[in-house]
Chains A and B, each alone.
Chain A
Amino acid sequence: MPNQLGKRYTCGTCGATVLVTKAGDGGVHCHDQPMEQQQPKPLPSSD
């Protein structure tokens, strides 16, 4: 699955998180596994 701009991915093994700042065709991997896409945490906008 291609990287999506602005999405966050987490490693299920070590907890590392990445934020995609450039979209691309590649996938993100950590500890030999594809990283999992994080669900948005809804927080109210404060500014």
Chain B
Amino acid sequence: MNLGMLLDMAASGFGARVAIGSLDSGLTYERVAELAGRLAADLRDHAGRPVAVAAPTGLHTPVALFGAAAAGCSYAPINFRLPDDALGDLAERLNPAMAVSTGDNHDVLAQRTRAAVQQADVWLAGLADRPAEPFAFDDDPDAPAVVLYTSGTSSAPKAAVLRHDQLLTYVFNSLEFGAAEDDEATLLAVPPFHVAGVAAVLSSCYVGRRLVGLPRFSAEAWLETAARERITHAFVVPTMLARIVAAMDADPGRRVPTLRHLAYGGARMPLPVLERALELFPDTDFVNAYGLTETSSTVAVLGPADHRKAAAAADQPELRARLSSAGRPLPGIEVQVVDDDGGVVAVGVPGEICLRGEQVGGAYLEVGSRLDGDGWLHTGDQGWVDADGYLFVTGRADDMIISGGENIAPAEIEDTLLRHPAVAAVAVVGISDDEWGERVAAMVVPADAVVLDETALTEWAREQLGSLKAPKVLLVRPDLPVTPTGKVLKRAIKAEFDAPAG
């Protein structure tokens, strides 16, 4: 098995459809297979080594992914926007056979690796001018197919390795070949080095849905591209949806009537953002996708029917609560919640979420496998499962606040503060306190054109949340620090609170 199978099937099943880009200037599946065949021929002597791609999603993306995979090389997209030193470190650790650059980061890739470095557009044009090679692929299911640096919200980035069989299990267990209508198009707003960016290339190829990349996210660019490309499907992380919703609220003329399907994931979705999005996209199917880099992307989904049922159940708190659920596991995925001693907890009891299944990787470059002896991946995510098997993810174990011996999840506090009209975004952390161990602190981004009355907000929060959970300290900032994949950097926020005043 090789990821190349997906492209081979697409090229023979619906080769004339546009795989990536605009309808008038994109590449068809047949064309992607031709170009990937030429790349694979170039890489044949380098099987086992990565192809590092440090450029935004573009026409080259599926060519690089499937060409590398076919040759038995791994596809390793890295954050192309990092400062030179950091980008150089990541590239060097990969020891790539070849690297693709934006142009701007060409020199650092050339200096820090022994790879041949190619500028993305020049390289693609060069492949297009060459004689045909058949698209043939390697057949080692255990070989590394994709290498992805994890986001490193709590530690230095680790390079997660996903094998061909793991990624293909995800595709085959969750999708039907050629299922897309011929007018469907996905807008890919997450960068290519996010696991959802990799999964989108594989899934869209297998179902036959055109992929449109968004080189740099802004709410305006997302809305404009969605309208121009008649986008039907999209995946966003919560910070993106918050900005899209705010932009739509500010301008009632900005709507995306073609959007049939909106999936979200990558971090916890604040409930007020989701509720407003459901109102602004009344005819769109919503899907919450929970997954990790290490699990070949999605392992659980809350589907459109669950969203509708929960949204309509304003007076049934238990059903309504499902809106904050990650839904039920995909076929082939087992979920277990364990306590601090590793014992499996009862239904409804919170603990650490553990995952097992054929699509679960859990191995890293330089480190090896981190699965436990029974094959479980310990995710570091806190959560619980309800009586009907719905998974609730409350946050990272590291983010839990312990104050006066009580465990406090930041999620509930964040959702409450976000309901205040003066608050556009918020992150809640625990900061050291001699008396209480930790106390609750909040970094707040004010809504547009609002001068935040901090005393009034603190007082309001105490009424809503009680004195234990209400923030004791506020910092007002124009933006929250986030990773390039949209996760809020709680470490950086804690550091700001801990820094001496001034």
Partners in one complex: yes
Q: Interface on A for B, CB 8 Å cutoff?
A: 5-7, 19, 21-23, 40-41, 43-47
* Contact yes or no, A43 B175, CB < 8 A: yes
**How many A-B contacts are there with CB distance less than 8 Å?**
62
- Give the nearest-CB partner of B300 in chain A: A46
Closest-CB distance, A5 to chain B (whole angstroms): 5
* Contact yes or no, B8 A46, CB < 8 A: no
* Contact yes or no, A46 B298, CB < 8 A: yes
How long is the Cα–Cα vector from A2 to B220 in the complex, in angstroms? 49
**9 closest Cβ contacts across the A-B interface?**
A6-B177, A46-B289, A46-B298, A44-B303, A40-B176, A47-B199, A47-B200, A44-B287, A5-B13
How long is the Cα–Cα vector from A46 to B170 in the complex, in angstroms? 11
Interface of chain B, main secondary structure: mixed
Task: Add 11 more A-B contacts to A5-B13, A6-B13, A44-B303 (CB < 8 A).
Answer: A5-B12, A19-B172, A40-B179, A43-B175, A45-B203, A46-B174, A46-B263, A46-B289, A47-B196, A47-B200, A47-B203
* B235 within 8 Å of A (CB atoms): yes
Closest-CB distance, A21 to chain B (whole angstroms): 6
Residues of A within 8 A of B298 (CB): 46-47
Given A6-B177, A6-B178, A40-B176, is A47 in contact with B297 using a C-beta cutoff of 8 Å? yes
Our pick among B5, B178, B261, B291 for the contact of A45 (Cβ within 8 Å) is: B261
Residues of B within 8 A of A47 (CB): 186, 196, 199-200, 203, 235, 263, 289, 297-298
Interface string of B162-199 (1 = CB under 8 A from A): 00000000001011111100000010000000001001
Closest-CB distance, A43 to chain B (whole angstroms): 5
* B426 within 8 Å of A (CB atoms): no
Residues of B within 8 A of A41 (CB): 176, 331
Interface string of B278-291 (1 = CB under 8 A from A): 00000001010101
How long is the Cα–Cα vector from A32 to B285 in the complex, in angstroms? 44
* B265 within 8 Å of A (CB atoms): yes
How long is the Cα–Cα vector from A45 to B176 in the complex, in angstroms? 10
How long is the Cα–Cα vector from A40 to B263 in the complex, in angstroms? 21
Residues of B within 8 A of A7 (CB): 177
How long is the Cα–Cα vector from A44 to B200 in the complex, in angstroms? 14
Residues of A within 8 A of B285 (CB): 44
| 11 contacting pairs across A/B (C-beta < 8 A) | A5-B13, A5-B177, A6-B9, A6-B13, A41-B176, A43-B301, A45-B207, A46-B263, A46-B287, A46-B291, A47-B289
- Give the nearest-CB partner of A39 in chain B: B176
Closest-CB distance, A24 to chain B (whole angstroms): 11
* B482 within 8 Å of A (CB atoms): no
Residues of B within 8 A of A40 (CB): 176, 179
* B233 within 8 Å of A (CB atoms): yes
* Contact yes or no, B287 A23, CB < 8 A: no
- Give the nearest-CB partner of A46 in chain B: B289
How long is the Cα–Cα vector from A13 to B367 in the complex, in angstroms? 43
